[in-house]
Chain A
Amino acid sequence: MNDILEVAREQVLERGIGLSQEQLIEVLRSPDEQLDALLALAHEVRVKWCGEEVEVEGIISLKTGGCPEDCHFCSQSGQFTSPVRSVWLNIPELVEAAKETAKTGATEFCIVAAVRGPDARLMSQVKAGIEAINAEVDINIACSLGMLTQEQVDELKAMGVHRYNHNLESARSYFGDVVTTHSFEERWETCVMVRESGMELCCGGLVGMGESLEQRAELAAQLAELEPHEVPLNFLNPRPGTPFGDMEIMAGKDALRTIAAFRLAMPRTVLRYAGGRELTLGDLGTREGLLGGINAVIVGNYLTTLGRPATADLDLLADLKMPVKELQKTL
């Protein structure tokens, strides 16, 4: 039997064809002694098919908390006893956040709302926010507003939204253990509509939520089927008051294997470090992931939790001699 790394080298590195779900299971089951070699291969794949550059993004919560959905990892659900209270951000503060983000060299600024899907009020606020940002800040604007109708997809595209985020969150076979208020298929439909609209699709998920290795591979394969431009990879940060609040933090080596597996599943995608990496990987692991398939980061804070200082990530990228992607370029 061929070693999975030899197979991946020939199939993914040489030919640019992502690994299948069955092959990804082998990667995720590979022993710790192979981890360095696995990460090195994933890094080679990333450099060959995406280049040396790293894409930097900042995110902001436009509408925090009070969400009617029950995503079991999320502190913003109104169904749990989380201490997060509902709040809306005003337009001047939104513009200020975009300015702060642009100062870091980021090319993407993502506006996020904790909702099932946007209503007329939220769409109106997003439109006003995008116009205000565009008047003062040179940055690509992304949105993450939940599930969309075709009309809303068209509206957001007309507003100039560059990229739309809607995660699968978890594998189809595990989704019902994570969310019960909507279905995997509903998420999938929004992702397909976004992709077909011409907006860039940003679609990822979380790992470390109690799913099996096989289900982690399944998620990667299902994401690959959607062919998203970007895949944000989150590691569960157990939030007080949520159903997953008492879960253990994922082991760092499993997280690194997951990064490499996602890269080997999707050689050409923008694979972004998202939430939870600080807890799961720490400083050393963050570095290893950037040398193991990651080619994008969220700098600064997240939606309800804090990240590393932006300067810490930018210094790390400089230390690794990884150039930050400039505006108006695509990876």
Chain B
Amino acid sequence: MTVTTVLYCGHCGREVADGSHDDCRQALTMEPPRYCERCRRRMVVQVHPMGWTARCSAHGEVSS
């Protein structure tokens, strides 16, 4: 099993240890992540009618 360490907020891109991200978690129920949680690079995101994909140039793709 691979354990991925979440260092950055997928919504705002700040470090997850930097303050509360309650609003970000709420926002992520209605929008895809824009930042890679491992390196905070901005991801290339494609929203589809029934889902989304988000690709980090260093860490690959995540999807809904």
Q: Which of B16-63 contact A (CB under 8 A)?
A: 29-32, 34-35, 42-52
Please state if A306 and B47 are interface contacts (CB–CB under 8 Å).
Answer: yes
Please state if A93 and B50 are interface contacts (CB–CB under 8 Å).
Answer: no
Q: Contacts of A318 on B, CB cut-off 8 Å?
A: none
Please state if B44 and A59 are interface contacts (CB–CB under 8 Å).
Answer: no
How far is it, in angstroms, between the C-alpha of A55 and the C-alpha of B49 when the chains are bound? 16
Which listed segment binds B: A144-152, A175-183, A226-234, A296-304?
Answer: A296-304
Q: Contacts of B45 on A, CB cut-off 8 Å?
A: 64, 84-85, 87, 304
Give the interface of B toward A (CB within 8 A). 12-13, 29-32, 34-35, 42-52
Given A83-B35, A306-B30, A306-B32; A58-B49 close (CB under 8 Å) = yes
Contact with B along A301-313 (1 / 0, CB 8 A): 1111110001000
Please state if B50 and A240 are interface contacts (CB–CB under 8 Å).
Answer: no
Please state if B49 and A100 are interface contacts (CB–CB under 8 Å).
Answer: yes
Please state if B13 and A310 are interface contacts (CB–CB under 8 Å).
Answer: no
Task: Tell me how many residue pairs across A and B have CB atoms closer than 8 Å.
Answer: 63
Q: Which of A221-242 contact B (CB under 8 A)?
A: 240
Choose among B31, B46, B51 the residue that contacts A89 (Cβ–Cβ < 8 A).
B46
Name the residue in A64, A86, A303 with the highest tally of chain B Cβ atoms < 10 Å from its Cβ: A64
A126 contacts partner chain B, Cβ-Cβ < 8 Å: no
Given A83-B42, A305-B30; A310-B50 close (CB under 8 Å) = yes
Q: Contacts of A125 on B, CB cut-off 8 Å?
A: none
Which residue from chain A places its CB closest to the CB of B27 in the assembled complex? A240
Q: Contacts of B51 on A, CB cut-off 8 Å?
A: 301
- Distance in Å: Cβ of A22 to nearest Cβ of chain B: 37
- Distance in Å: Cβ of B54 to nearest Cβ of chain A: 10
How far is it, in angstroms, between the C-alpha of A234 and the C-alpha of B63 when the chains are bound? 26
Given A305-B30, A306-B30, A306-B32; A85-B49 close (CB under 8 Å) = no
- Distance in Å: Cβ of B9 to nearest Cβ of chain A: 11
Please state if B44 and A301 are interface contacts (CB–CB under 8 Å).
Answer: no
Please state if B47 and A61 are interface contacts (CB–CB under 8 Å).
Answer: yes
Choose among B29, B34, B43, B47 the residue that contacts A301 (Cβ–Cβ < 8 A).
B47
A91 contacts partner chain B, Cβ-Cβ < 8 Å: no
Please state if A84 and B34 are interface contacts (CB–CB under 8 Å).
Answer: yes
- Distance in Å: Cβ of A101 to nearest Cβ of chain B: 5
Q: Which of A77-92 contact B (CB under 8 A)?
A: 83-87, 89
Which residue from chain A places its CB closest to the CB of B13 in the assembled complex? A83
A279 contacts partner chain B, Cβ-Cβ < 8 Å: yes
A-B contact pairs, 28 of them (CB 8 A): A59-B49, A61-B47, A64-B46, A64-B47, A83-B13, A84-B45, A85-B42, A86-B44, A87-B45, A87-B46, A89-B46, A93-B48, A96-B48, A97-B49, A101-B49, A104-B49, A240-B12, A300-B49, A300-B50, A301-B48, A301-B51, A301-B52, A302-B47, A303-B47, A304-B45, A306-B31, A306-B32, A306-B47
- Distance in Å: Cβ of A234 to nearest Cβ of chain B: 15
Q: Contacts of B30 on A, CB cut-off 8 Å?
A: 278-279, 305-306
How far is it, in angstroms, between the C-alpha of A191 and the C-alpha of B61 when the chains are bound? 39
Q: Contacts of A130 on B, CB cut-off 8 Å?
A: none
How far is it, in angstroms, between the C-alpha of A84 and the C-alpha of B45 when the chains are bound? 7
Given A85-B43, A85-B44, A240-B12; A306-B52 close (CB under 8 Å) = yes
Q: Contacts of B13 on A, CB cut-off 8 Å?
A: 83
Which residue from chain B places its CB closest to the CB of A309 in the assembled complex? B50
How far is it, in angstroms, between the C-alpha of A306 and the C-alpha of B31 when the chains are bound? 5
Please state if B31 and A60 are interface contacts (CB–CB under 8 Å).
Answer: no
Which residue from chain B places its CB closest to the CB of A106 in the assembled complex? B49
- Distance in Å: Cβ of A104 to nearest Cβ of chain B: 8
Q: Contacts of B52 on A, CB cut-off 8 Å?
A: 301, 306
